[in-house]
Structure formats: C-alpha cells, structure tokens
Structure 1
C-alpha cells in the first residue's frame, strides 16, 4: 500500500491543530492541498479518517486508531534522525512546546528564540495556551505549567519558583482599606482567575512558627478573567485585590503602581515545570531544552526584592486607608 509521508503528516496535523485550515497554515500550504492529501490517504486506506463539521474535525474510530499508530511511527522516525545527529552534537527534527500565555510572551519566547538560534537544524514550534491539556493526546513534546503539581504519570522537571503576591492599586487601598487578616479578604472586591478551579481558591501560609495554610474562596462577581495580565490591568484600574505571579506584576510593584498587601500571610508559591511523557525522556533535544530553560530561569529575573517598596515604606498609606474604612 503506497502511503505518502506528506499525506500522513497532513492528517496528523489536522487532528493535533483541530482543523484542516490550521494544518495548512502550519505547513505553509493551501487548504485545498492539505484537504486533498488527507482524501488521498483515506482513499489508499479505504476508510474514513475524519468526521467533518462546520466547526471542527474529529477523528473517526478508524482515524483515532490510525492517528495513534502513525504518530508513534513518525516519532520513531524523528528519534532515529535525532540519534544520527547526536554523534555530531547537532540537534535536529521537530520539538513542539506548549506554554502559558502571560509567562510565554513575557519570559519564555525570548529564551526559545535564543535556543532556536543556537540549534538551526531544529524546528521549534511554540504555542501558548492557558488551558490544561493532555500531553499524551495533543502530542506536544513538552508542556510548561505553572502550578503546585500533584501526582502524575508524566515526568516533571522544575525550572523555577513562581512567587505570588496579593496586590492592589493605591487607589483601591485608599478607598476600601487593606485587609489585616486573611479572613477579612471575603469582605473585599476580589479579582478571580477563571481558567481552573484551583485558581478560584486563594491559599495562604500564615506568618509565624506554625506556618498554617489557610484557603478562602474570594467573593465573586467583581471581575473574573482567564488571563493574569487582564487581572493585573483590572487591579491597576482599582477594581479590587488580586493574587498574581510576580513575573507579571514585578514592574508595577517596583514603580508603586501596585502595592503588595500582607494580611499576616503570604500566598503559596507555584512551581514552573516542564512536563513531558516518559517516552520522551531519551530525547536529546528535549533534555537540551529543559537544561537550557533551567539554567536561564535560575536567576528568576522577576525577583527584584530590593526595588519593591516594603510595607514600612507605605505605612502612611496603610494608616490613611485604615482610617477610611
């Protein structure tokens, strides 16, 4: 059965990217060419691989089976090519990376650009999306996640720590006052992250020797978004309190546009992880990327503690805000 690699690749990309148009853009071809390649593949196999609709394509039962087998075979070919290049210390092939939106645009993209320049034979594909995905099905080689990672069948390598801060604008502090305890947060306008259930619960470690962890569900209905930079903009506008990563707000804290609120407790840190399937562990290109990111992110450039006003520096504002309540 004379199957063409180009036809198989078109089918794989259509499944992974959610449509023929997206696959065509990725391959630099017209939609009609990619559609014809998939039709040719279906004709050679004698089965329908896709269930087409006006909104999205989905694999048929036969298509899902063929996808799993074909993707595995294509990965083996890619690994074989990589093994040959390892002897010359050159990375080649394709490496698909998924990262979170805000971290990706602010910190990840320039690092990936540097890595790509150092390895010109390696085809890097960087996509940004805050949704949690199943790396086994989506077929990303590595996914960067910012979370407190639990048990997983995947391998996770920690790249850095993401400290979070409770913050608000000086205007909000003056109008509403500042909470002195975690329990007082429920009486404040809070800005919620809607992309995942854990993002809708704020967890704090109370100051003191016992280090008790307290969680609250902040009051809803004020402002909710699925992106941290949108929440930062809302906090800057004085809409309420937000718990945000320092890598998003450190410049605003440094300039005094946002204040770090310290209600006798500190938001729990997240970790920045590279997550990938166990089957990818032997990939030299993946190991090289993870090691590069670990080294590059180790200084954590968004951590500039000496440049951020301490609580004592804004004590007059705290006193003024408290009197306004």
Structure 2
C-alpha cells in the first residue's frame, strides 16, 4: 500500500504538537479522523510509528527514524508553498511588463508608471521593449501592451482593448513655410510622409512614404527637423504642439485610431501586483482621458 504525503505530514504535525488532538486542531480535522489516517500510514509502511497513551504519544524506534528523515524536507516544502502564496498575494517583488518603444516614450505611459511606483514602493518594475507578441509564461513576463492587430502568440491569453490613440498629421513650421500648402488630403501626394506600421493604413493609398518606423520618437524627431509630414498619436504630440515645435496639418481630418491591447496569461492566477497595474491601466488608459483634438 502506498503512503500518502498528507498522512506523512499529519504524522510530523502529531509529533511536533505532542499529540493527536493538537494535530487535529492545527489541521482542522476531527481527532478520530487524524487517528485513523495515522493508522493507515502505519499499515502502509508495515510498522508501528506511535505508542498511544491517554495523555501523550511516544515514538517507536521506527517512528523516530521516519520523523528524522522527513521532518526537515516537509518543513521546507511547507515554507516554499507559503512563500509562493505570500508572493502571489503581496504587493512586492518584480513585475515585468513588455511594451513597444512607441509607448515607452509617451508622457501618458511614463506618468502611469510613476503613479504605480509611488503607490507600491516594494514592487520592482522591469519594463521590456518589444514590438512583437511574446510567450509570456515561457519568458516570465506578467503582461504585455501591443497595438491591436499584432498577432498574439498564445490565443488562450487574456486580451483586452484598453485604449484608442487618436492620431493627427504634423510638420514643422519651417517645413510648411517652404513647401506646397496642404489644405486637403490630396495635397499630401506632394509631400514626403512619415508613419508607423500601426497607422500607415489610415492614410490614402500610394502616398510617398519616406519613413516607416515602430519608434514614434524617431518619427517625431524627423518631423521636427523638417523632413516631411508625420502621422502620430495626439498623446505623444501635446508638448511639441504647445511649444510650436510642430504644427497640426489638416486638424479637422479624422484618422483611424491606434488601438492598444492589454495581454496577460490568466485571470485565475493573477498576482496582486499585476492586478493593481491592470486596474491602473484601465482607469488611466481610457478614451475620456485622451484628447481627441489638437
């Protein structure tokens, strides 16, 4: 007969607490059930482990040998299990999040991370730059943010559309002063255009695309340097527009939004530190918090 690990643990508890009644209380079981399971363990091992008296228990020689061999390993197993449970429910440890480079440079995202770190000072944020979907479980990443449309590696992962980034066309004032005027969409055919792969389909076909990059900061820099007209998310541009570094082009035109998707492995085994960031993302990354006009 094969011995049960639970019964071995009950045996250790019985010895440590000095009696069956105390072990039963610790394990939230009836005394008679603990006694029966210890008898089943003795039967499975083929030897007597305990000498039972009215007031206490004593170990037989076999019982002493068994206790010496298994008490420390079982304690280590119990401590390891408690450590994992505490880590899952606590707001501490490392939280790894993968985001595209375009989002890292966003003031909106930077502000959110600052808020999270201030609220939860015992969490270490590890921000990984990734433009493609990752296998989160295998790469030990807690969550990922990606533009909608990027194929997710594992379709079983939770996927939630968090945010729509409205976009607008911009160029430097010097560029606009020295090039043909732009008063309607058809005029864009006369200008070099800079886009990301996430929003290039929002523009008319056959435009002269001079730069396509996942790095929105690079596109913004090139636009500010007078290299052409760029299509960029409004949230990234607010500072440059207010300072005059960039000027809105065709501000009344509406372009397809870039949609941001939140991806994480499972709702069931969600650590509290991850849940807290998800809640913050949902509260901050909503359309009501993004300016749709410039």
**TM value normalised by structure 1:** 0.54
Task: Tell me what 1:138 maps to.
Answer: 139
The answer to whether the aligner puts 1:158 opposite 2:161 as a matched pair is: yes
| Contact 1:202 1:218 (C-alpha < 8 Å) held by counterparts | no
Deviation of 1:170 (Å): 2.1
1:222-233 → structure 2 map (5 Å cutoff): 222-233=210-221
**For the residues of structure 2 that align with 1:150 and 1:264, how far apart are their CA atoms?**
32
Structure 2 CA distance for partners of 1:113 and 1:150, relative to 1, 3 Å: same
| Contact 1:82 1:92 (C-alpha < 8 Å) held by counterparts | no
Please give the per-residue CA displacement for 1:256-279, whole angstroms capped at 9, x wherever unaligned.
Answer: 332222287322111233212236
Task: Tell me what 2:266 maps to.
Answer: 278
Task: Tell me what 1:52 maps to.
Answer: none
| Alignment gaps of 5+ in structure 2 | 1-78
| Contact 1:169 1:257 (C-alpha < 8 Å) held by counterparts | yes
Which of 220, 224, 230 is residue 236 of structure 1 equivalent to? 224
**For the residues of structure 2 that align with 1:265 and 1:246, how far apart are their CA atoms?**
13
**For the residues of structure 2 that align with 1:296 and 1:79, how far apart are their CA atoms?**
35
Which of 224, 236, 251 is residue 239 of structure 2 equivalent to? 251
Task: Tell me what 1:96 maps to.
Answer: 96
Deviation of 1:150 (Å): 7.3
Task: Tell me what 1:188 maps to.
Answer: 191
**For the residues of structure 1 that align with 2:259 and 2:122, how far apart are their CA atoms?**
31
Number of residue equivalences:
212
Task: Tell me what 2:202 maps to.
Answer: 203
Please give the per-residue CA displacement for 1:219-261, whole angstroms capped at 9, x wherever unaligned.
Answer: 13x3444411111111112211110011221122223332222
| Alignment gaps of 5+ in structure 1 | 1-76, 205-214, 309-325
Structure 2 CA distance for partners of 1:238 and 1:292, relative to 1, 3 Å: same
The answer to whether the aligner puts 1:84 opposite 2:73 as a matched pair is: no
| Contact 1:192 1:218 (C-alpha < 8 Å) held by counterparts | no
**TM value normalised by structure 2:** 0.59
Structure showing greater radius of gyration is 2
Please give the per-residue CA displacement for 1:53-108, whole angstroms capped at 9, x wherever unaligned.
Answer: xxxxxxxxxxxxxxxxxxxxxxxx9997464367xx63234321112224224333
